[in-house]
Structure 1
Amino acid sequence: MTVQAVLDEIRGIPGTGDVIPIIDPATEEQITEFTDAGPEAINAAVARAKAAANSKVWSAMPDYDRAKVLWKVADLIDQNAELLADLESVNTGIPPIQAQTIVKVGSEWFRYYAGWCTKIDGIARDVNTGGLTGVESHMHAYTLREPYDVVALIFPWNGPVFNFCAKLAPALAAGCSTVVKPAEETPLSALVLTRILAEAGVPDGVVNLVNGYGHTAGALLTAHPDVDKVAFTGSTEVGREIVHSAASSNLNKVTLELGGKSPVLIFDDADLDTATAMAGFGCFLHSGQVCMLGSRIFVQRGVYDRVVDGLATLANNLQLGGPKDEGAMIGPLISDKQLKRVMGYLEQGRTEGVELVTGGHRIDRQGYFVHPTIATKVDPTSSRLFHEEIFGPIVTVLPFDDEDEGIALANDTDYGLAGTIWTTNLGRAHRLAKEVKAGTVGLNCQLQFDHSMPFGGYKQSGWGYEAGKAGIETYLQSKTVWAQM
């Protein structure tokens, strides 16, 4: 299969809604289009998933056999890695080497969760209890861990292969049937991945792909009475809408991985060269379109100017370009809509008196490219640049004097996805790790990830966790069984 074949295939998928163009963000050219699925297609996909769940064609499959299927999925992703990376690049604009890394991480989701298929268990106890009757009896009690019947998996446009695999691998390992909806901007890789799943032996009806806008296809899924759980990655605003939808329909369970405005604390005793370089890459990767990036940098006052100068040098030397531009390190924003959003924040910053040390403008070429931007003299009490998730290559850099002030600034946000502390004082590092209100904290490192470690957010950055044991428990329900002995 080729990239062009995928572009042609998605164009031919029937639907009843609007025709949605797919734009190459590096060239601003339309590369294909597809039709929003519409209510009938959504209902049919949920019905297929429900039928598969009722038949137990997947959930009752022996654990070892289910594990073998997931392992085969991983192998097939590796065999199709070049195509998937090409689709990732053309659909999101990221450099090929980054796309290849994302695909490699994607296949490992399935290998990791293949191992969990044989390790889903509960607890068992012999209990002498009177229960609520007051008559003491000898009981044997145990718990069962059972999959949700139908799970809707909805994921965003930044890293579609990664997000597809991150949600689907644990859901399948748990035994769930699923309906998958990628973002309308980036639906291409999902076509190949669903084909891979079928080839690997996932039964019909267990994975059902639908395409469409979030406010149409996504809204229909989250409100559907036969959907038992929703797992969503995206903005906090849409996350709130999903919670309201779940509350007003069947109270389906919800897992949310939402926005971030992650702090980076750089102390004067840090390895400043390493800290500056990593903080720079840690805010400009994928043009700032990653939820856990450190978009608020705080530097101890004595080394503030040095770090700002280093960040500016790095920002000015990052080569921007599309997938076909040799040496490109940073790609474009995903869409014209996102470009206008980012430029709007920059204009707002100028009206607030923010100083843009470097950047602040669109690159003069085709594509949705914005120069990496460093903003100083930002008012932390009122600035939108400081408080709101921009999802673009803009970082605010502010000074602080001591630990207390640094932590106060770091935690001055509605979000709590990640945080970073740069210091050679290990006592300080571990002490402050407890103070940062975030689900992931890096000590002298940034953007670390492993499939075995849970990932989730505090505050308005989400509900629940992905990855690790917590990731599969997200897709399991507990049932307690009492047996009179």
Structure 2
Amino acid sequence: MIVKPGTAWTDAYAGCLRAAPEAFHDDRPLNRWGGGWRRDGVAGTARSPVDGTPIMAPPRVERATASAAVRAAADAHTAWARTPLPARTRRVRAALDEFRAHRDLLALLLVWEIGKPWRLARADVDRCIDGVAWYAERIADMLPGRTPLPGPVSNIASWNYPMSVIMHALLVQALAGNAVIAKAPTDGGVTCLTLATALATRHGLPITLLSGSGAELSGPLVTAPEIGCVSFVGGRTAGGRVAAGLIDSGKRHILEQEGLNCWGVWRFSDWDLLAGQIRRSFEYGKQRCTAYPRYVVQRELFPDFLDAYLPAVRAVRFGHPLAVPSADSDLEDLDYGPLINQAKAVSLTWSFDDAVTRGGIPIHRGSLADGLFLDGQDTGAYLAPAAILAPPPSSPLFHAEPFGPVDTIVLVDTEAELLAAMNASNGALVASLACDDEETGRKLGAELRAFKVGINRPRSRGDREEHFGGIGASWRGAFVGGELLVHAVTLGPPGERLDGNYDTPVR
């Protein structure tokens, strides 16, 4: 196996230098603030999770630089908020045309920086383009009676979807009349996000892009008085720190946090349907907020479930996303590549082993020998699919989302036990029920603490007009999706209360 010619990291970075020389130097990407690209911050070193290839690390700025950048973004916000909507829409559409022209380069950067297989990397770029284009067509109908926020929107998001989550949000927020700030994810995606920012800002969009540690930048990007809204996507630990910074501020916020998304199996018999859904659930190694890592199964159905589950999980394909047998071969259609880094793979391996030591039952443990790799390549960030029955309550796998290709299975005997097991994490973004009788499924689904519930189908974040949010500790603040996203980043009539989750208020 070889890396497909033309897809090496050096090819990808050379493409960045050609496409946006203003945003990249030979040795590092730049930060953007105050209307220009700046060689500030301390450039570190990084390695691709794909095979350990050295890649560009985020140039980390200090708190004082971030504070200056926020003040500059506030000035840009004042001017941009006065820009007529037709002009804003033209500029956003011009940015989308740039993304289309550089689609494969953006996708290739996602492969190297965060390990997405080629098909999923291109889909991430396409979802950003198509989603923002949908808003550009309809934004005029969403804004009557609404005005931009009093200050820019600050975006802090995880590394797994730089285009379809982070850049999508930035462009819609700008379309609605706001200047926007993005903190580049520390763990991966900075080069892709830098290129996309360069392609957008050459058309006058007011985007600030900063790199740095959360501890260093959380003050300026969360609590600065200039900030009009904080939009966060990530885990509960980091989300809790952001929420703590918002206490008593009254600041608009959108805090999307993780939950243990569960798939219940109750009075069910269509095992071929479920087997296909199990296989697809391993896309991107379950490294997404709407992955399903927990199956809650009626005990008497467990033999049939196992007959469907094991062939499906054994069919999952993983490995080096750019490995091919010959130069003229197409890239392989893999379900997932590496995890985000070796530390994550080591941590999940430890959690699995510890759960078994404490009494969990390993029902499947794949081998890296089943993956598609280059001879002698670094495979430290890879983890084969695994599943454990009855994880012990003392294990992190019992109550937390693994964010990797590890499933847990819990057996139950009653509907009450089913609901209790599926609601174990005090709120989730999505849940699904496999149930032959849809009326029974809907009745049970109404008791689940998840924002979206599917009956015999998975649910996802969604695109365009579909609303998205969370229940319990999985979300705080305004919901998004469709007109709700626009409402979340604009001001409506006095006294307006936005649709959202305020069960766990910031105050």
Same fold (TM over 0.5): yes
For 1:39, the aligned partner's letter is R
**Counterparts of 1:405-444 in structure 2 under 5 Å?**
405-444=417-456
**Cα distance in 2 between the residues matched to 1:401 and 1:170:** 46
Change in Cα spacing, 1:360 to 1:383, as seen in structure 2 (3 Å) is farther
Q: Deviations over 1:54-77 (max 9, x none)?
A: 23xx22222223223223322322
**Counterparts of 1:100-115 in structure 2 under 5 Å?**
100-115=122-137
User: Secondary structure at 1:424's aligned position in 2?
Assistant: coil
**Cα distance in 1 between the residues matched to 2:341 and 2:218:** 20
Give 1 or 2 for the bigger CA radius of gyration.
1
Of residues 155-164 and 399-408 in structure 1, the stretch that sits farther from structure 2 once superposed is 399-408
1:36–1:217 contact (8 Å) kept in structure 2: no
Aligned to 1:11: 28
Pair 1:455-2:468 in alignment: yes
1:145–1:479 contact (8 Å) kept in structure 2: no
Pair 1:44-2:68 in alignment: yes
Deviation at 1:362, TM superposition (A): 6.2
**Counterparts of 1:226-305 in structure 2 under 5 Å?**
226-247=226-247, 250-282=249-281, 284-305=282-303
**Cα distance in 1 between the residues matched to 2:294 and 2:98:** 39
Change in Cα spacing, 1:18 to 1:377, as seen in structure 2 (3 Å) is same
For 1:331, the aligned partner's letter is G
Q: Deviations over 1:16-44 (max 9, x none)?
A: 65433232101123222342022243123
Deviation at 1:147, TM superposition (A): 2.5
**Cα distance in 1 between the residues matched to 2:404 and 2:108:** 23
Change in Cα spacing, 1:392 to 1:63, as seen in structure 2 (3 Å) is same
Deviation at 1:208, TM superposition (A): 0.8
Runs of 4+ in 1 over 6 A off after TM superposition: 360-364
User: Secondary structure at 2:193's aligned position in 1?
Assistant: helix
User: Secondary structure at 2:69's aligned position in 1?
Assistant: helix
Deviation at 1:473, TM superposition (A): 1.1
Deviation at 1:144, TM superposition (A): 4.4
2:429–2:451 contact (8 Å) kept in structure 1: yes
Change in Cα spacing, 1:337 to 1:417, as seen in structure 2 (3 Å) is same
**Which of 179, 182, 185 is residue 180 of structure 1 equivalent to?**
182
Change in Cα spacing, 1:461 to 1:264, as seen in structure 2 (3 Å) is same
Deviation at 1:183, TM superposition (A): 0.5
Pair 1:211-2:221 in alignment: no
Deviation at 1:217, TM superposition (A): 2.9
User: Secondary structure at 2:410's aligned position in 1?
Assistant: strand
Deviation at 1:230, TM superposition (A): 0.9
Aligned to 1:357: 363
How many pairs align?
453
**Cα distance in 2 between the residues matched to 1:346 and 1:219:** 36
1:170–1:475 contact (8 Å) kept in structure 2: no
Pair 1:98-2:120 in alignment: yes
User: Secondary structure at 2:247's aligned position in 1?
Assistant: helix
**Counterparts of 1:111-126 in structure 2 under 5 Å?**
111-121=133-143
Deviation at 1:85, TM superposition (A): 0.6
**Cα distance in 1 between the residues matched to 2:334 and 2:385:** 14
Change in Cα spacing, 1:395 to 1:313, as seen in structure 2 (3 Å) is same
User: Secondary structure at 1:456's aligned position in 2?
Assistant: coil
**Cα distance in 1 between the residues matched to 2:283 and 2:338:** 11
Deviation at 1:121, TM superposition (A): 4.3
**Cα distance in 1 between the residues matched to 2:171 and 2:444:** 34
User: Is there any run of 5+ residues in structure 1 with no aligned partner, and where?
Assistant: 123-142
For 2:432, the aligned partner's letter is T
User: Secondary structure at 1:453's aligned position in 2?
Assistant: coil
Deviation at 1:306, TM superposition (A): 2.4
**Cα distance in 2 between the residues matched to 1:69 and 1:424:** 49
Q: Deviations over 1:223-267 (max 9, x none)?
A: 32322211010111011101111227x443221111121010123
Of residues 355-364 and 22-31 in structure 1, the stretch that sits farther from structure 2 once superposed is 355-364
**Counterparts of 1:42-81 in structure 2 under 5 Å?**
42-55=66-79, 58-81=80-103
Change in Cα spacing, 1:271 to 1:80, as seen in structure 2 (3 Å) is same
**Cα distance in 2 between the residues matched to 1:167 and 1:108:** 13
Q: Deviations over 1:409-430 (max 9, x none)?
A: 1112223111011223121222
Deviation at 1:2, TM superposition (A): 6.0
Deviation at 1:166, TM superposition (A): 3.2
TM-score (norm 1): 0.87
**Cα distance in 2 between the residues matched to 1:31 and 1:389:** 28
User: Is there any run of 5+ residues in structure 2 with no aligned partner, and where?
Assistant: 1-9, 18-23, 31-37, 324-331, 372-376, 496-507
Pair 1:474-2:488 in alignment: yes
User: Secondary structure at 1:195's aligned position in 2?
Assistant: helix
**Cα distance in 2 between the residues matched to 1:104 and 1:369:** 26
For 1:30, the aligned partner's letter is P
Aligned to 1:166: 168
1:17–1:35 contact (8 Å) kept in structure 2: yes
**Which of 292, 304, 307 is residue 306 of structure 1 equivalent to?**
304
Change in Cα spacing, 1:361 to 1:230, as seen in structure 2 (3 Å) is farther
User: Secondary structure at 2:202's aligned position in 1?
Assistant: helix
**Counterparts of 1:316-355 in structure 2 under 5 Å?**
316-325=314-323, 326-355=332-361
Change in Cα spacing, 1:148 to 1:264, as seen in structure 2 (3 Å) is farther
2:149–2:228 contact (8 Å) kept in structure 1: no
**Cα distance in 1 between the residues matched to 2:295 and 2:29:** 47
**Cα distance in 1 between the residues matched to 2:29 and 2:236:** 33
**Cα distance in 1 between the residues matched to 2:463 and 2:228:** 28
1:156–1:183 contact (8 Å) kept in structure 2: yes
Deviation at 1:452, TM superposition (A): 1.0
TM-score (norm 2): 0.83
Q: Deviations over 1:388-415 (max 9, x none)?
A: 1221111111222343332221112223
1:259–1:461 contact (8 Å) kept in structure 2: yes
1:150–1:179 contact (8 Å) kept in structure 2: yes
Aligned sequence identity (%): 21
Aligned to 1:132: none
